[in-house]
Each structure stands twice: as C-alpha cells, then as structure tokens.
Structure 1
Amino acid sequence: MTQHHLQGRTEDEILWFRRRGFLQAAAAWTSMGGFAAAWAQQRSNIVQLSGDAQANGQRLTPQSFIQTGDTLETGPNTSLVFVVGNSAFQMRQNSRMTVERGPTLNAVSVLRLVTGAVVSVWGKGPNRQIVTPTLTAGIRGTGVYTEVFPQQQSRSYFCNCYGTVDMGAGGDRVVSRSSYHQSFWGEPEAKDGRFLTPATAINHTDEELEFLAGLVNQRTAWQEMGRKGVKDGQGYMEERPPGAHPAMAPR
C-alpha cells in the first residue's frame, strides 16, 4: 500500500478499491468488454455502487446508466465508480458534480465539481476540463484527484497524478507536467499574490488510480516506467527543491 496522508477524509474512503464487492465488479466489468460492450448491450456503466447516490434527483441503482449531462450526488458513506467513454471516475461520499456533454454522447467535456471529491482517469481527447469554484484544469489524458473544501470558502485541491494539465486559478496560469503527483491549491483569495499555490499529496492513493486506469484499458505513468517517485506533491520521480513546483515559478 502506498503512502498517503489524510486531510478531512477517512481511511475507509481511500481504501474503496480493496472491498471484495468492487474487486468482483471490476473483474466482471473487464471480462465483459468494458464500456463499449456495456453501451452496445445497453447495460449499466456503473462498475460499483455502495450507499446512496442520485442522478438528476433520481436514485441510482447498480443497473442505472450515467450519461453526459447528468448531475450526480453521493450521500454519506457512499462510493460510486463508473465509466463514460474512455474515462473512469470514483466519487467520494457527500459529493456533487455534473458531467457535461462533449462532441459526442459518450465524451465528457467538463467535469464540474461543486463539492466533495472525485478520482478520475482520462483517456486522450480534445477540450476536456475539470472545473471547481476556485480552479480550472485542462485535461489532455491523465489521472487526477480533485477535492473542494466548502468549509474553507470552497478552496479547491487538485493533484495531477501523471500527465500534462493546463492549470488556472484567478489570473494564474501554469502548465503542470507530472510523473508522480503534482499538487495544487486553488485559493479563494490570493496568497502572496498567487491563486495557484503548491500543495502536498493528500487523500488519494496510487492504487486508486491504477484500478481506475485498468477499467479503461490504461496504465499509470509509474506502471509504465516500472517505478515510483517521491510523493511530496512536487510531481517528480526524484526529490527536488520546493522552487521546482510550477506554482512557484517566477513571473
């Protein structure tokens, strides 16, 4: 089990991928052909649901189909894992988000997270974004973790676990290139003149990303390279000084 630090989340939330129900559901999802087969056979694209969740105010069941354009909500002690097109998502408890439609019915253009948290793995494709109350992330094909902290004026946390992401908050714009967990805060008010500030890696694990990637026939960057880096939020395989973080780059 990889190192992880918790901030306002429980250990049980982070270890959803260890549950026997999910492991059985994930194996069945893969063996039955994934999203393409589910779409062709008009089966559910929910891989695993524990607890209570809704789409557009209607309660979800394991047989439901989540579509782009849906607004999703999870209740207490709930975990929702689903796939749309070439992207996979795991919603934490007490979360609310909209999966906005892209150029096709099965392409997500914007994941708009209002509150709560979501782990997501995105296949390659154009013009995708994750939007929270305080930051925007342009996705190019990556694995990420996003969380909104309503008790902190909707301060947002974003980790580019691997890949390239165009980050924006307030007037700040940076390109994040990560091999191993590059983390940011999207600040509701500028800190030392910056709306994008460095963060440490919190509330998510390598294994979560690996399982989600497997659901869409992908591998994480560290799986491809056969090694892991320093999980300090800097985003590199080797330890680097704090100034190496793109949110600290001179203007």
Structure 2
Amino acid sequence: MQQPPALHPTNHQTTQLLGRSEDELAWFQRRGLIQAAGLWVAAGGFISAHAQGRSNIVELRGDVLRNGQKLTPDQRVEAGDSIQTGPDSTAVFAVGNSAFMVRQNSRLSIDGDTPTAVKALRLLTGAVASVWGRGPERQVVLPTATAGIRGTGVYVEVFPEQAFRGYLCNCYGTVAVDAGGESVLSQSSYHQSFWAEAEPRDGKLLRPAGAINHTDDELEFLAGLINQRTAWQITGVKGSKDGTGRSGY
C-alpha cells in the first residue's frame, strides 16, 4: 500500500497539512464570505431559509455541480442531492439544522427522508467539515468507515491516492465509528481523530490520528451558521491537537 506523504505544519495552532493548502484552511476569512454569512444570519439563518423557501447556500466558489448540473447561488441543496466540486472550488451551505463546507475536488451525496432532514452524508472522495445540530442519530459514511453522530462537529476526508483511506475527526461531541467490524465510541471535547484504513495496519483498521487539514475557526464559523457554538466556545477551554479529544491542556 502506498505510504502517506509527509505532513507539513501550518500556522493554525498545531493543525497539519496533508495534501491541502493554507488557502483552503483560510476559506472562512474571505471578505465576500464574511459579508454573505452576515446577511445569512441577519435574514434569520437556516430557520428562515427553510420557512421562506430561500436558498440555503451561503457561498459558492468555482465549479460546483449538484446532481451533475451547475449549482447557482439562488438554488438549494437538499437531502437527496449529490454534490461535486472542481479544483479551487468550495461550497458552504446549511441543510436543516446542519452546516457543511465542501472542499475542492470532492464528491458526496446527502441522504434523507425529506429535503431538510439529513440522514447521512456519504463522502466518496475529497473533504467536508460539518456541524450537526441536535436531533436523531445520523451517519457520515466513508468508503472505509461509518460514523453514527448526533449533535457534533466532524471533519472527514477520503484519500483516493491511498486506496481511499479515510480520515475522521470528532471535533467535539459523541461519535460511534465502525470500520470493517472494528468499532470505537469517541467522546471528544477537542478533536479526537482516526484513520480508517483500507487494509489493516499493525492489525488494525481504525487507528489514532492527529489533527490534519482543518481548524477550530472553520468549525466555529459553521456552528455560527446554525446558531450553535463549539464545545470549546462554550467552556472557554481548548486542548492539544494530538488526536486524543481531551481539552484542558
């Protein structure tokens, strides 16, 4: 199996970059997005967008497809849709009481019983940061793992060049992770991370990982879109991004 490339440090606390750029992690700082998010919140956010049938898209950048067709800012992303982003493209939107940021070169689908009731996020390739409001258990599905979630913040990524190796960070909350029959109940207040391997390494499909390719600021931005706060915003305590999920360092 191909070995992962070397990690490169960033200036976002102790987050590491693995095949991603600094610009991708700074997406929430763009002036246009900040203005759009301000208008989104001022207009009532996700609750108003749902009630009034308005677009639930906060920002589109670059080439983004919904169900194979170009997605425009006045349209909606709903459960039942598939999303694909091209190079240098991102999409930020809220479906029901959950908010999503899709990185470039990603393919995913959103499952649900109704247009606003998300049951599962299925990531085929690429990366998604998401914050989920409280509600029934839902799933994040990767080629190599499935995570059962409730109210939480999660970052997931799939590496096609590494046999679709999966990465999952339970940024805060409770997540039940399963990979090929191996299971872990993750209870995190500050980033507990896992590799979900395509083939066992040291006899394990689920292995501990550090924080890569996502930041606290991204999760805080997404939480704000759905009137939520992250665990560390509530407690005022962060920790070390060593992947253990513990705060208070």
TM-score, structure 1 as length reference:
0.93
| 1:238 Cα offset (Å) | 4.4
- Residue 108 of structure 1 contacts residue 128 of structure 1 at CA under 8 Å; is this kept in 2? yes
- Residue 46 of structure 2 contacts residue 95 of structure 2 at CA under 8 Å; is this kept in 1? yes
SS of match in other structure, 1:126: coil
Tell me if 1:95 matches 2:123: no
**What pairs with 1:204-215 in structure 2 (closer than 5 Å)?**
204-215=214-225
Q: Which residue of 2 aligns with 1:126?
A: 136
Deviation by residue 1:85-136 (Cα, 9 ceiling, x = unmatched): 100000000000000014x331110100000000000011113000010011
Counterpart of 2:75 in structure 1: which amino acid? S
SS of match in other structure, 1:176: strand
Of 84, 87, 94, 1:83 maps to 94
**In 2, Cα distance between the equivalents of 1:214 and 1:116?**
24
**In 2, Cα distance between the equivalents of 1:39 and 1:109?**
17
SS of match in other structure, 2:17: coil
Aligned residues: 238
**In 2, Cα distance between the equivalents of 1:21 and 1:49?**
10
Unaligned runs of 5+ in 2: 1-11
Counterpart of 1:228 in structure 2: which amino acid? K
**In 1, Cα distance between the equivalents of 2:152 and 2:51?**
26
- Residue 3 of structure 1 contacts residue 205 of structure 1 at CA under 8 Å; is this kept in 2? no
Unaligned runs of 5+ in 1: 240-251
Q: Which residue of 2 aligns with 1:69?
A: 80
Tell me if 1:112 matches 2:125: no
Give the number of the structure whose residues are more often strand, by fraction.
2
What percent of counterpart residues are identical?
61
**What pairs with 1:19-98 in structure 2 (closer than 5 Å)?**
19-98=30-109
| 1:201 Cα offset (Å) | 0.4
Q: Which residue of 1 aligns with 2:162?
A: 152
- Residue 2 of structure 1 contacts residue 207 of structure 1 at CA under 8 Å; is this kept in 2? no
**In 2, Cα distance between the equivalents of 1:24 and 1:2?**
26
Counterpart of 2:208 in structure 1: which amino acid? P
TM-score, structure 2 as length reference:
0.93
- Residue 50 of structure 2 contacts residue 96 of structure 2 at CA under 8 Å; is this kept in 1? no
**In 2, Cα distance between the equivalents of 1:91 and 1:118?**
5
Of 6, 23, 26, 1:15 maps to 26
- Residue 174 of structure 2 contacts residue 188 of structure 2 at CA under 8 Å; is this kept in 1? yes
SS of match in other structure, 2:122: strand
